[in-house]
Amino acid sequence: MAFEGLTAKLQEAFKQLRGKGKLTEKDVKEAMRIVKLALLEADVNFKIVKDFINTITEKAIGEDVLSGLNPAQQVIKIVNDEMIELLGSSQSRLTFSSKSPTVYMLAGLQGAGKTTTAGKLAGQLRKLGRKPLLAACDIYRPAAINQLQVVGSTYNLPVFEMGDKVSPVTIALEAVEHAKKQYYDVVIIDTAGRLHIDEQLMDELKNIKKAVMPQEILLVVDAMTGQDAVNVAESFNSQLGIDGVIVTKLDGDTRGGATLSVRAVTKKPIKYVGMGEKMEELEPFFPDRMASRILGMGDVLSLIDKAQEAFDEKSAKELEKKFRTNDFDLDDFLQQMQQIKKMGPLKSILGMIPGLSNVNLDEAGVNEKSLSHVEAIIQSMTTKERKKPELLNGPRKVRIAKGSGRSVQEVNRLLKQFEEMKKMMKQFGSKGKKGKMGMGSPFFK
């Protein structure tokens, strides 16, 4: 997961600070040395790291901080504030044109994930009540048009294409005209990329920009390009002029330095980050929340947002009632687990919980596979067995183990977890407390 190494090293630096009662200038500089190395190892641009460390050090060795009641916490707050500033201060949303349709043009190198991102972005906008149209303007990469059609089909989104014999400028213009006639209020243009920046690529993008006058040009950057992301961003911004950035594949890079570098170099806001393959995993970018994740302080607000999306309100109330009346069965247990899975990868969810960002799931005996195993075990039971787990004697457990491809020990472990959860919820009910869905799961022990 992104920033894993960086988070661990930053926490190491903070631990050193907290271990001292009163801080000296030397203590602060030693901690900043660790922070500097951590940022460089995370592939953050050297100049950005240098400026960042200098700013923090200057503020942290001030007399008010070092002589304060809790200097370590004050230094950590300075690092947090400067990290938020580096990432963009506040959330920057997409802007919409006063005249329909609003046109967004995606640009970036080949392989950055533009086509997939176009589909995810369209899906996100549809959830906001918009009616988006995807425009296939990459006529050079083999099967690029087909890929966009597959993405469109996956999310049930319309795709406008004219084959690969018509110029991208003409396709973009026709897509906008088609959108007007069919009352689409958003057009997302998927442009061609190259393995490197060249004059032909830039000229084509400039011509599309001149023809359709997009509301926003969004640069799609692959997080795993590291230091190269800075050069790419600088070049696209100086030659084309970008309005925002989308950073993709943050789920596959433990460094994530591109996220910190691109914003600082271009002075353009990061609008979305790709945290996985699903549409919901293209997340709006919040600088303060991301800074909190990077510093290992969790991201409770994003966790709440995900929970609200994943948990159906009506189902949640019904489950809450069952918790209170101790009428919670294995079907309910399965339903809760499936809703947790909707929230995204477990590693991502744990990273949002303060203090759990560096938990090793495998060492804790919890991983994505374990959830699937539980699902298989419960689905191998009869309806009656799910309603009344007390019926599960030895022979039944053997049958369920064989049916799910798991062991009898795993079946017993699941039943034990289920009983522990019922006891916990019964205690909450007897005290008149409302059980909160999701975090009460034994998978979060």
Q: Is the pLDDT of residue 121 over 90?
A: yes
The b-or-e profile of 127-162 (16+ CB within 10 A means b, else e) is: eeebbbbbbbbbbeeeebbebbbebbeeeebbbbbb
DSSP 1-53: -TTHHHHHHHHHHHHHHHT-SS--HHHHHHHHHHHHHHHHHTT--HHHHHHHH
Q: 409 is written with which tokens? A: 């020990």
HEC string of 268-304 equals: CCEEEEECCCCHHHEEECCHHHHHHHHCCCCCHHHHH
pLDDT higher at 106 or 371: 106
Domains of the chain, earliest start first: 4-87 (1.20.120.140), 102-285 (3.40.50.300), 304-444 (1.10.260.30)
The average confidence (pLDDT) of the chain is 82
Is residue 106 within 8 Å of 186, Cβ to Cβ?
no
pLDDT confidence band for 348 (50 / 70 / 90) = low
pLDDT confidence band for 347 (50 / 70 / 90) = low
Maximum distance among all Cα pairs of the chain, rounded to whole angstroms: 73
Question: According to the model, what pLDDT value does residue 350 have?
Answer: 61
pLDDT confidence band for 187 (50 / 70 / 90) = very high
Is residue 147 within 8 Å of 164, Cβ to Cβ?
no
Name which of 84, 44, 48, 46 is nearest 223 in CA terms: 44
Q: Is the pLDDT of residue 43 over 90?
A: no
Identify residue 386 by its one-letter amino acid code.
R
Is residue 121 within 8 Å of 272, Cβ to Cβ?
yes
Question: According to the model, what pLDDT value does residue 68 have?
Answer: 62
- DSSP type of residue 143: T
Is residue 290 within 8 Å of 86, Cβ to Cβ?
no
Task: Tell me the average pLDDT across 378-383.
Answer: 93
DSSP 344-400: --HHHHHHTSTT-TT--TTTTT--HHHHHHHHHHHHTS-HHHHH-GGG--HHHHHHH
At how many degrees (to 10) do helices 330-342 and 368-379 cross?
150
Query: H or E stretch including 104?
Result: strand 102-107
Percentage of the chain lying above the pLDDT 70 cut: 78
pLDDT confidence band for 438 (50 / 70 / 90) = very low
Q: 266 is written with which tokens? A: 């271009």
pLDDT confidence band for 364 (50 / 70 / 90) = very low
Q: Is the pLDDT of residue 352 over 60?
A: no
pLDDT confidence band for 372 (50 / 70 / 90) = confident
pLDDT confidence band for 105 (50 / 70 / 90) = very high
Is residue 53 within 8 Å of 24, Cβ to Cβ?
no
Question: According to the model, what pLDDT value does residue 435 have?
Answer: 41
